[in-house]
Amino acid sequence: MPAAGPRFDVAVDPGGYAWWYIDATSDDGSCGLTIIAFVGSVFSPYYKLSGRRRPDNHCAINVSLNGPRGSAWAMTERGGHRVHRDADTFSVGPSAMRWDGDSLVIDIAEISAPLPYKVRGTVRVTPEMLGTTAFHLDPAGRHRWHPVAPRARVEVCMTHPAARWLGDGYFDSNFGTEPLEDGFDDWHWSRAHLGNDVAVLYEGRRRGGEPFDLALTFDRQGRWHDVDQPPSARLPRTGWLVKRATRADAGHDPRVIKTWIDAPFYARSALDTRLFGENVVAVHESLSLGRFRSPVIQSMLPYRMPRAFW
């Protein structure tokens, strides 16, 4: 794919999905942010119950904030009558993303769940590089990953909760033609900003148990390079006992600085680790799709991911 910004008008077939993912950590290390905009929301119980026939009828913008003054979470799904997508804009209800040619501007106007409180503000993501390639995550190409901006500067201006900070960030997108749980049993992913490059590490098991891994670095021009996976390193399980796995230089034990999201089938954390000879702070996620398929987990999801009918 050519070096360019996101394309929010990508076609999503029945049964499929698309998402655009942003994470950032503040320059002082005290705050973290993730935003994910979904078409055919992969974790939506409503999309699953509908038979996944209409991806654009199941969209959401998920916001997760962490900081010393507290955290915030919001993810409300909305139907097609509250969704607009074109090449440069994606709006879901009162929240929206827009690409202005240089930056991604995200206007957030959400209500948290299950405890209702406002999540309001604006986030600006300015790439320092643009990725040039999309990658298949499975041999058949049913699941694809495109690192839009492996390195970016992020400006956070929130009014609810009140927070203003600058930090380094990361921006990618994923696309699929089948449900995520049909393609994978689990995965572990991390990204870390090195002095000059950005390291991205994937590993996990495809559905049926076949292992996969992907280890890349991106230089300042957005060019990617295959690298050898660093050795495996242990991480503690989460509060929900989700298994976490990562990679680190030999002889180094990574440390969980903070778990940003601790869910029954998913965790996102900040790690203090060492990669390719550099001490870094990595953003790390672990996903258990075996757990996600559980009827018990499915029954819990609407409490954290409500669907609005207005």
Q: What are phi and psi of 135, to 5 degrees?
A: -125, 140
Mean pLDDT to the nearest integer, 8-23? 97
Does residue 1 carry a pLDDT above 60? no
pLDDT of residue 236: 97
Does residue 120 carry a pLDDT above 90? yes
Give me the chain's average pLDDT, please: 95
Pair 218, 131: CB distance under 8 Å: yes
Three-state secondary structure along 184-198?
EEEEEEEEEECCCCE
pLDDT of residue 2: 43
Q: What predicted TM-score, i.e. pTM, was given to this entire model?
A: 0.96
pLDDT band at 5 (very low <50, low <70, confident <90, very high): confident
Does residue 218 carry a pLDDT above 60? yes
Mean pLDDT to the nearest integer, 195-208? 96
70-87 confidence digits (pLDDT tens)? 789 999 999 999 999 999
95-108 confidence digits (pLDDT tens)? 999 999 999 999 99
Mean pLDDT to the nearest integer, 45-70? 95
**CA-based R_g, the chain, Å:** 18
Give the C-alpha separation, 136 to 174, whole Å: 10
Amino acid at residue number 17: Y
Does residue 310 carry a pLDDT above 80? no
248-299 confidence digits (pLDDT tens)? 999 999 999 999 999 999 999 999 999 999 999 999 999 999 999 999 999 9
Beta partners for residue 217, in sequence order: 199, 225
Report which secondary-structure segment, H or E, holds 153: strand 143-160
Cβ-based neighbours of 250, under 8 Å, separated by 6 or more: 230, 231
Q: Tell me the torsion sign for CA atoms 245, 246, 249, 254.
A: negative
DSSP designation for 297: H
**Given the structure tokens 């991806």, which residue do they identify?**
55
129-174 confidence digits (pLDDT tens)? 998 899 999 999 999 999 999 999 999 999 999 999 999 999 999 9
Does residue 301 carry a pLDDT above 50? yes
DSSP string, 248-285: --TT---EEEEEEEE-SSEEEEEEEEEETTEEEEEEEE
* Residue 159 token pair: 């009014």
30-53 confidence digits (pLDDT tens)? 999 999 999 999 999 999 999 999
Does residue 219 carry a pLDDT above 60? yes
